[in-house]
């Protein structure tokens, strides 16, 4: 088998959609678990909820990055 050194193209649209979905689910779970953690004092649920909220925000940020990058590539293609 011959190995090719060609880089695989990055599908920014699909990556953005997946990141958006993961972000929405993580933020929703973070809020639900956070409410449960506020009711049950002494349990590690509050830290888990904060971790899920942070993960969701990072995923949403990456989705925004993919959107901006895709728009820049689209503008570059129309100029050429």
pLDDT in tens, 14-71: 999 999 999 999 999 999 999 998 888 788 999 999 999 999 999 999 999 999 999 9
3-state class (DSSP) for residue 11:
coil
Of the pLDDT bands very low, low, confident and very high (cuts 50, 70, 90), residue 5 is low
CA–CA separation, 63 and 28 (whole Å): 17
Placement of tokens 């689209």 in the chain = 74
pLDDT of residue 79: 75
pLDDT of residue 43: 85
Nearest of 72, 75, 74, 60 to residue 16 by alpha carbon: 60
Question: pTM of the predicted model, to two decimals?
Answer: 0.81
> Would you say residue 4 has pLDDT above 70?
no
Q: How many residues does the chain have?
A: 80
């Amino acid at each position: 088998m011959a190995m090719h050194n060609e880089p695989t193209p990055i599908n920014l649209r699909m990556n953005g959609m997946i990141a958006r979905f993961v972000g929405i689910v993580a933020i929703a779970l973070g809020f639900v678990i956070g409410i449960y953690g506020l009711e049950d004092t002494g349990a590690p649920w509050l830290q888990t909820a904060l971790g899920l909220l942070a993960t969701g925000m990072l995923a949403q940020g990456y989705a925004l990055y993919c959107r901006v990058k895709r728009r820049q590539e689209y503008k570059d293609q129309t100029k050429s």
